[in-house]
Structure 1
């Protein structure tokens, strides 16, 4: 099976979530989301899921 190259979330949404969670400076200074910890990425996904669920209600 081929790997998906494009992400599900837009870069704008990811930065918005990173700012809300307080690690946007890490993304800006250290060169992208590759420098973000796994815990912070998990928190970002959790927040994105919460937002998606709220938009369905």
Structure 2
């Protein structure tokens, strides 16, 4: 099976990782070394950002 392309850009993933303090793990060991908990926190943060973006577009 082929891997699907991610919805989040690499830039956004790095930005969120930096905010959550796991960017050093990504830089030294790669995305595979980030814990499941931290990945879940990244997803939560991305959802929050998306919801804020949608809320600001509504009139």
TM-score (norm 1): 0.88
Cross-structure match for 1:9:
8
Structure 1, unmatched stretches of 5+, are none
Distance 1:38 1:6 in 2: 20
User: What is the aligned-residue RMSD (CA, Å)?
Assistant: 1.3
Distance 1:3 1:47 in 2: 27
TM-score (norm 2): 0.85
Structure 2, unmatched stretches of 5+, are none
